[in-house]
Structure 1
Amino acid sequence: MKVKEISIKNFRNYSDLFLQPNKNINVFVGKNASGKTNILEAISILISARSFRTSRDREILKFGEDYFEILALIEKSGLDKDYQLIYEKNKKKKYQVNLSNIKSLNELRMEGPLVSFVPEDLEIVKDGPALRRKYMDQAISNLDFIYRYNLKKYNSILKEKNSLLKDRNKGLDTKLLFQAYNVQLASLGAYLILARKEFLDQVNKDIKDIHLSITSGEEVLDLIYQNPFKDMDNIKKIESSLYQAMMEALDKDLFVKYSTFGPHRDDFDIESNNISLKTYGSQGQKRSAVLSMKLVEINLIKARRNIAPIVLLDDVFSELDQKRRRMLIENLLDVQSFITMAEKKYLDEFKGFSYNIYLVDNSKVKLLDGGN
C-alpha cells in the first residue's frame, strides 16, 4: 500500500499542502512545532480514521476555518484508489473511496493497514496496562476484523454495565440484570482473550530473531500474557470461566461501581532473559523491546494480509542508537514510511536507500533531496 499523492487543506497549521511522496522512505525534518507531525496525523486520519494525538476534530481544524479536507491517491495491490476526507465544523467527518461513501470506520480500516510508532509507544514497557492493551488491540485489529468488531461491541456493553453500576435502579433485580450483561460480556470477552493469547504466542515466535539481532545476540524477549485462566486454548472453557469470575466479582463491582474483571483489565509483561523489563530494564532495553514489537507487527500484517502497511514514525529516531536506527531503516525497505525528526544529523543514515527528504519550516514543506 502506497500513498502516491496527498493534498491537505485547512489542517492544523496547513492552509494548502500537496505532496508526491517517495514509494519507500519519506523524512520530514524541522524544528519542534514546525508542522512535521501534522503531516503524519493527516495520513493516519485518512487511512485509519484515527488521530494518534486527539479524538476531537475541532482541534485539528485550522484556526478561523470552517472545514478541513484531505485527498489522496493511494495504490493498493496494483490498483489506484482516490481517498477523500472532509470535515465541516460541528458535523461528522465524511469519507469516500473512489467516490463511494464509507459508511463505517471498520469499512475504512479494512481498506488498508497502518502501523504507527510514536513517542507514547516508548512507554508501553514501563507505563500502566492501558498502553499495552492498546498495543494489542490495535495490532490484532489490523489482522482480524472479527476481533475489531467484537472489541467494539464488548466495550459498548461494558459501558452500559458500568453506567448501571454507577446509578442502578434499585427496583430492578440486581443479580438478574447484571447476569444478562455478563453473559454477553463473557461470550465476546472469550474471543478477545483467545485472540490475544494466540497473537502473543505468534509474536513470541517471530520476535526472538529480530530482538537477538538488535541486541547482538544477548537478549531473548518474551511477552507473557497475564491472565488468570489456565486453559486458554478452548473458547467455550474461557467463556464459562470468564462468566463465573464476573459473577463472583459482582459484589465488588457494586461496591466500587465499575466492572473489575474481564479482558478490559488484561495485561502482559515484557521479559528479557526472563527478567521483567518494566521493573528492571534499562531505558535502552525498553526502547529495543518496543522497536522489536513494532517490527513484528509490520511483518505479521505483510504475512497475514498479503499487503504492506503504511508506517508512521513520529520523532522516535533520536530515542534509538545508531545500530537500532539502522535496523529500523532496513526493515522499512519494502513498506512506505513517513518519518519525522528534529535534527539533520541523522539524515546521512538514509544514504543508499530510496527516499525523499523534506524540510519543514513555518508551515512550508520543501523537498531537499529526492534520493535514489
Structure 2
Amino acid sequence: MNVESIRLINFRNYNSLNINLNKRINIFIGKNAQGKTNLLESIYMCATGRSFRTNRDKEIINFNKNEAYIGAMINIDNYEKFIEIKMERDKNKRIRVNKTELKNYKELYSGLNVVIFSPEDLKLVKGGPQERRSFLDMGISQIKPVYKYNINRYSKILFQRNNLLKSNKSKSEIFSLLDIFDVQMAKIGTDIIIERAKFIEGLSDICKNIHNITTLNNEDLTLEYISNVQLLKNKTNMEKEYLNKLKMNFSKDLEIGTTEIGPHRDDIIMYINNRDVKTYGSQGQQRTVVLSIKLSEVELIKKERGVYPVLLLDDVFSELDEERRKYLTRSFNEMQTIITATDVIDLEELQNVERSIFYIEEGKLII
C-alpha cells in the first residue's frame, strides 16, 4: 500500500504542487510554517475524507482563492485508485474515486490506510475523552468501513434524541416518543461498543510488547476501555441491558437535556505499572505511550488488512530520544513512510534504505 503521486492546487499555502513519492521513505525538510504538515494533511484527507487539523474545509483553501484541489494516485495490492477532493468556499467538498463522484465524504472508502504521529498526539493522553474516542473511531473505521456508517447513524439518532429531551413537550409525551430512538440507539450503540472493545483488546496486546521493548522492560503498559454500558457476551442481552439503562436514566437525561448513556461517553485509561499515565506519567512517559499506541495501530491494521498502512510522521524525531528514534526507524522498511523535519535526519538506520529527500520552502518544492 502506498501513495504513488499527489497533486495540490490552492491547498493551504501550495499554489501548485505535483510530486511522485518513493515507495519506502520520503523525507520532507523545511523550516516551520513552510507547508510540510499541509502535505501530510492532504494525504490523510485522501484516506479519510477529512482533515486531522480542522473541521472547516474553508480553512484549507488558499487565502486568495475560492477553491482547492487534491489529486492522489494510490496503489493497493497492485491495484491503482485515483482519489480527487475538491473544496469550494460556498459548497460542500466533492470527492471522486476513479472519476466516480461520491454523494458524501462519509461514503469514502479509498482503501488507503494511514497512521499519523505528530507532537499534537500528546492530546491522546493529556486531552479529554473526545480525543480518545476520535482515535478509536478513526482507527476502527479504517479496518471496518461499516463501523464508520454506524458512527454516523448513531450521531444522528443522538442529536435527535437530545433535541427531543430539550423540547417543550410534556414529560409523558417525551417518554413515549423516545421509544423509537432508544431502540435504534441501543442496537447501533451496542455494535459500536463491541467493536471498540475488540479494537482496544487487540491494540493492548500489541502495545504491551512494543512498550516493553521501547522502555527496556522497565514499564508495563496496559489500556482499559471504559463504557457506561456493560459489555456482555450475548449481543441480544447487551442490547436489552442498554435499553433498560436508557429508560432508567430518563428522568436525569430530561433534567440536564442530554443523553448520558452510550458510547459517546466512552473513554480509554492508559496505565504504566498500574498507574494512570494521564495523572502520574511524566511528559517523556506520555510521549512514549503515544509512540507505542501508534506503532501498535500500524501492526493491528497489518494484522486485520494483511498490508501495512502508510505511516505519516510529522516532526516527531526532535521529540524523541535516540533509543526511541532508533526503534521507530526499524519498522520503516515494512511500509511507505512520509516524514517531515526541520533539519536533515542523520540516523544510521536511514543511511542504507531506499529513500527520497525533498526540500519545502513557502509551499514550493525546492529542487
Give the TM-score normalised by structure 1: 0.93
2:258: which partner in 1? 258
Alignment of 1:207-286 (within 5 A): 207-286=207-286
Asked if 1:164 corresponds to 2:176, the answer is no
Question: Structure 1 residues 81 and 226, CA, compared in 2 at 3 Å: closer, same or farther?
Answer: closer
1:89: which partner in 2? 89
Consecutive unaligned residues in structure 2, runs of 5 or more: none
Contact kept in structure 1, 2:74 and 2:112, CA below 8 Å: no
Contact kept in structure 2, 1:231 and 1:237, CA below 8 Å: no
Measured after TM superposition, the shift of residue 131 of structure 1 is: 1.0
Question: Structure 1 residues 221 and 338, CA, compared in 2 at 3 Å: closer, same or farther?
Answer: same
Alignment deviations for residues 16-66 of structure 1 (CA, whole Å, 9 cap, x no partner): 111111111212121111111111111112222110111222111112222
Contact kept in structure 1, 2:94 and 2:105, CA below 8 Å: no
Alignment of 1:47-66 (within 5 A): 47-66=47-66
1:299: which partner in 2? 299
**Aligned partner of 2:22: which letter?**
N
Alignment of 1:110-125 (within 5 A): 110-125=110-125
Per mean C-alpha deviation after superposition, the further-off stretch among 121-130 and 95-104 is 95-104
Q: CA RMSD in A?
A: 1.9
Contact kept in structure 1, 2:24 and 2:336, CA below 8 Å: yes
1:323: which partner in 2? 323
Question: Structure 1 residues 225 and 130, CA, compared in 2 at 3 Å: closer, same or farther?
Answer: same
Contact kept in structure 2, 1:190 and 1:236, CA below 8 Å: no
Measured after TM superposition, the shift of residue 146 of structure 1 is: 2.1
> Matched residues in 2 for 1:136 and 1:21: separation?
29
Secondary structure (helix, strand or coil) at the match of 2:218 reads: coil
**Aligned partner of 2:180: which letter?**
A
1:37: which partner in 2? 37
> Matched residues in 2 for 1:231 and 1:11: separation?
44
Contact kept in structure 2, 1:197 and 1:232, CA below 8 Å: no
> Matched residues in 2 for 1:204 and 1:10: separation?
41
1:146: which partner in 2? 146
> Matched residues in 1 for 2:283 and 2:114: separation?
26
Asked if 1:76 corresponds to 2:60, the answer is no
> Matched residues in 2 for 1:172 and 1:15: separation?
58
**Aligned partner of 1:217: which letter?**
N
> Matched residues in 1 for 2:108 and 2:298: separation?
19
Consecutive unaligned residues in structure 1, runs of 5 or more: 368-372
Alignment deviations for residues 244-293 of structure 1 (CA, whole Å, 9 cap, x no partner): 11112111111111111211001121011212111111111111111111
2:344: which partner in 1? 344
Asked if 1:108 corresponds to 2:108, the answer is yes
Alignment deviations for residues 118-160 of structure 1 (CA, whole Å, 9 cap, x no partner): 3322121122111111111111111122222111111110011
Give the TM-score normalised by structure 2: 0.94
> Matched residues in 1 for 2:362 and 2:229: separation?
54
Per mean C-alpha deviation after superposition, the further-off stretch among 215-224 and 234-243 is 234-243
Contact kept in structure 2, 1:190 and 1:242, CA below 8 Å: yes
1:201: which partner in 2? 201
Measured after TM superposition, the shift of residue 304 of structure 1 is: 1.0
Measured after TM superposition, the shift of residue 301 of structure 1 is: 1.2
Question: Structure 1 residues 102 and 271, CA, compared in 2 at 3 Å: closer, same or farther?
Answer: same
Contact kept in structure 1, 2:189 and 2:262, CA below 8 Å: yes
**Aligned partner of 1:311: which letter?**
L
> Matched residues in 2 for 1:257 and 1:4: separation?
49
Question: Structure 1 residues 232 and 119, CA, compared in 2 at 3 Å: closer, same or farther?
Answer: farther
Per mean C-alpha deviation after superposition, the further-off stretch among 257-266 and 62-71 is 62-71
Measured after TM superposition, the shift of residue 342 of structure 1 is: 2.2
Aligned positions, number: 367
1:370: which partner in 2? none
Question: Structure 1 residues 332 and 162, CA, compared in 2 at 3 Å: closer, same or farther?
Answer: farther
Contact kept in structure 2, 1:194 and 1:233, CA below 8 Å: no
> Matched residues in 1 for 2:332 and 2:165: separation?
47
Contact kept in structure 1, 2:164 and 2:174, CA below 8 Å: no
Contact kept in structure 2, 1:37 and 1:340, CA below 8 Å: yes
